[in-house]
Amino acid sequence: MPDTKDARLLRLFIGESDEHEGRPLYEAIVLKAREMGLAGATVLRGPMGFGRSSRLHTSKILRLSEDLPLIIEIVDTAERIESFVRAAEPMLGSGLVTLEKVEVVRYGHDAGLE
């Protein structure tokens, strides 16, 4: 990601059991982001959640779910995020996609800390 403070945060809300071409959807999305040279992607796993269907997904012991909620977060420039969304659209079935304007405070590492 070039030196810029203005960026976009893309969030994709999907289920852990969602797939694309025989592999987990979260994996396909992260690999696509990497292939397209985006700044980075992180997959977050939620212990509980529900979506449009209002069906509760939880990791509680008594009600073990194999479809926990996942959030994929990707931050990059507006142009690169828009291009990625167009490329990823065919992968997405149901789910929620949000986009926010964010300010990047720091990206990378300090050479003196290695």
> For position 6, what pLDDT does the model report?
84
Closest to 42 measured CA to CA, from 11, 67, 77:
11
Query: CB atoms < 10 A from the CB of 91, how many?
Result: 17
Query: CB atoms < 10 A from the CB of 7, how many?
Result: 21
> How would you write the pLDDT of the chain (114 residues) with one tens digit per residue?
656 688 999 999 999 999 999 999 999 999 999 999 999 999 999 877 777 776 766 666 555 556 789 999 999 999 999 999 999 999 998 889 999 999 998 887 665 544
Closest to 37 measured CA to CA, from 85, 107, 84:
84
> For position 113, what pLDDT does the model report?
46
Query: What is the pTM assigned to this prediction?
Result: 0.83
DSSP label of 111:
G
